[in-house]
Amino acid sequence: MKRAALWCGLLLLMVIWAGPLLDADRDSFAAHMLAHMGVVAIAAPLIAIGLSGTRWDFVSKRRLVSPIAASLFELVVVWVWHAPALRSAAQASLTVTVVEQASFLAAGLVLWMSCLGGNRDEQGAAGAFALLLTSIHMTLLGALLALPPRPLYGFETVTCLGLTLEAGQDQQLGGVLMLLIGAAVYLAGGVALLARLLSAPAGGQKSGAG
């Protein structure tokens, strides 16, 4: 299962980065958000599942960063790249787009690997809290993008996967995608980790019975 998850995550990255989302539709904020959510909320957890517990688990095995710190790191990366100036720079330059996408992947992998790997008892609660915290900030940013008084990322019509959208519609759709994909996936991950932690037998009870 780990190998299948790893290959699915890598294949999804290839589809996102080599497809129209970052090429023909690069001016669309909704297309950008599809790519962003695909990287951090789908590809990154799949790759993290595939790598967790292996020699390539460079985060949890070496304890490079705690889940809470990883969540805060992703918060900074996500909010900074959605500032209008950096969004415009990514639209105009392929080099900036590469840096943007690489930072999204790095932030996503660090977060998911720190939450999914390591000792279950030590990191279960912290991992669940970190994913729930990430869901909260994704929800907040998605709502701010979906309910703006005016467009933040330009005023021209754009094309996203064959759909022609006004600038305001494009931004609103991007915000909704962040809510539907990002916030939901991180919430589900946090709840799953919490449920796993609560269902595990208590270590203290085991030792007392022996």
Tens-place pLDDT, residues 185-210: 999 999 998 888 888 665 544 444 43
Specify the residue for token string 């595939």. 50
Q: Within 13 Å of residue 73, how many CA atoms lie on the same side as its CB?
A: 19
Element (H, E) at 79: helix 67-81
Whether the predicted pLDDT of 61 surpasses 70: no
- At residue 134, the pLDDT reads 96
Q: Distance between alpha carbon 60 and the CA centroid of its chain, in Å?
A: 18
Q: pLDDT tier at 7 (50, 70, 90 boundaries)?
A: very high
Question: CA 28, CA 107: separation in Å to the nearest integer?
Answer: 23
Q: Which of 89-93, 152-156, 178-182 has the lowest mean pLDDT?
A: 152-156
Please give the average per-residue pLDDT across 129-157, as a whole number.
Answer: 92
Please give the average per-residue pLDDT across 116-145, as a whole number.
Answer: 85
Beta strand 163-165 with 158-160: parallel, antiparallel or unpaired?
antiparallel
Lookup: tokens for 189: 């991950």
Mean pLDDT of the chain: 88
Please give the average per-residue pLDDT across 17-35, as a whole number.
Answer: 93
